Amino acid sequence: MISAAENFLCRHKLSSIPLIYEQIFRNAVASEYFTDSEYRALLDPEPSLLHEFLGYARRLRERAFGRRIGLCSIVSAKSGKCSEDCAFCAQSMFYKTGAPEHDVVEPGRVAEAARQAVADGSSRFGIVASGFAPGAGEFDALKAAVRAARGEGLTVDVSVGCLDAREIRALKEAGASGVHHNLETGPAFFPSVCTTHDYEDDVEAVRTAKQAGAYVCSGGVFGLGESWEDRLELALTLRALGVDSVPINFLMPVPGTPMENRPLLSQEEALRIVALFRFIIPQAHIRVAGGRHAIFPGHDRRRLYAAGASGVMVGDYLTRAGAPPAEDAEDLVRLGLEPERIAENVT
């Protein structure tokens, strides 16, 4: 059976597999995309050529962002009791995980977290609230949270479920610049991850945010049992939606959820995922968030930048502690990279 790479070579008369990456690199730089079937050649890189594969992804990152790396932080403004049954999530009301549960926190708590984010070197700050959409009486509290974070000088994003255009405008008026809303996986695999809403609900939420003029951050979780085809479909969907930033999360199995026994991804597979998204959406920030330290302990986390990552989440996650932000700062110095400044953000 002919491989995707061999098929690509036959059709493009390329003499060796590395030339595939060179050709796709050139087309990505020129914003001249191959067809979807040709991108599938990227799903099965030769193991002996992984270094070359990742190297082209790194070059794309450098062309788009130079030496700048975007650092972002989040605060859990509302936690737990989520009405959705996402199979990986500690905050779903369907599973007993022991995750914290609280309503929208006071603005002072958000301001405190924002000050810590500034100290950690972050340029973007996400306010995250569990649930399909803001509940009755929560919206004013979320606007107050946005104002509190903006008062600390950070670029503020909101991750509060599905929003309509009116709600997005109101949050922008309060000081928010961006909207985060993950698609989580490709459309074919989504029913295996969530059954309480449709994939199109999430796609429409992203589309609405883009149409409202927000900076849009949308990505997914990897290691759920999805195929490489599912990963490709997610990347192509995000490209079509024109998202500005793509968070890459690696599953950290949570006891009590349907995904509790899933294995961690290998470093090589995780690096290939980062590189794939860099090839397909070369101008977007590719930000590695959840699961980073679990799969890439110690100095191994530096490998992500060589695979095309242009941003990382620093500090704590929603329900788990992160690594000391000083370690990420040291990595950037060691690698000759520098944190993106707040003024450089797209708002």
Are 51 and 156 in a shared domain? no
How far, in Å, CA of 21 to CA of 279, rounded? 9
Residue 293 CB partners (closer than 8 Å, separation 6+): 301, 322, 323
Are 112 and 29 in a shared domain? no
Buried b / exposed e along 140-166 (16+ C-beta atoms within 10 A): ebbbbbbbbbbebebbbbbbbbbbeee
Residue type for 120, please?
D
Average pLDDT over residues 164-190: 97
Instruction: Phi first, then psi: give them for residue 193, nearest 5 degrees.
Output: -105, -40
Choosing from 62, 91, 112, the residue where a domain stops is 62
Say what percent of the chain tops pLDDT 90: 77
Are 149 and 40 in a shared domain? no
Determine the pLDDT at residue 48: 78
Choosing from 14, 31, 62, the residue where a domain stops is 62
Are 52 and 140 in a shared domain? no
Are 25 and 70 in a shared domain? no
Give the C-alpha distances (Å, rounded to integers) separating 342 from 72, 149, 187, 219, 294.
Answer: 10, 13, 34, 22, 28
Are 37 and 121 in a shared domain? no
When divided into structural domains, the chain yields a total of 2
**pLDDT value at 282 more than 70:** yes
CATH number at residue 228: 3.20.20.70
- Binding residue numbers for [4Fe-4S] cluster: 82, 86, 89
Q: Which residue has the tokens 């919206």?
A: 139
Are 24 and 144 in a shared domain? no
Are 94 and 161 in a shared domain? yes
- Binding residue numbers: 82, 86, 89, 217, 287
Report which secondary-structure segment, H or E, holds 124.
strand 124-129
Are 223 and 101 in a shared domain? yes
Packing angle, helices 228-241 and 199-211, rounded to 10: 30
Choosing from 26, 46, 62, the residue where a domain stops is 62
Enumerate the β-bridge partners of residue 69: 339
Q: How confident is the model at residue 14 (pLDDT cuts 50, 70, 90)?
A: very low
Are 26 and 139 in a shared domain? no
How far, in Å, CA of 219 to CA of 327, rounded? 25
pTM confidence score: 0.92
Are 40 and 138 in a shared domain? no
**pLDDT tens figures, 80-111:** 899 999 999 999 999 999 988 999 999 999 99
Task: List the domain range (segments joined by +) for residue 143.
Answer: 66-344
Record the tokens describing residue 68, joined without a space. Answer: 């700048």
Determine the pLDDT at residue 1: 47
How far, in Å, CA of 211 to CA of 258, rounded? 35
Are 86 and 137 in a shared domain? yes
- Binding residue numbers for [2Fe-2S] cluster: 217, 287
Least confident of 27-31, 76-80, 93-97, 203-207: 27-31
Q: How confident is the model at residue 13 (pLDDT cuts 50, 70, 90)?
A: very low
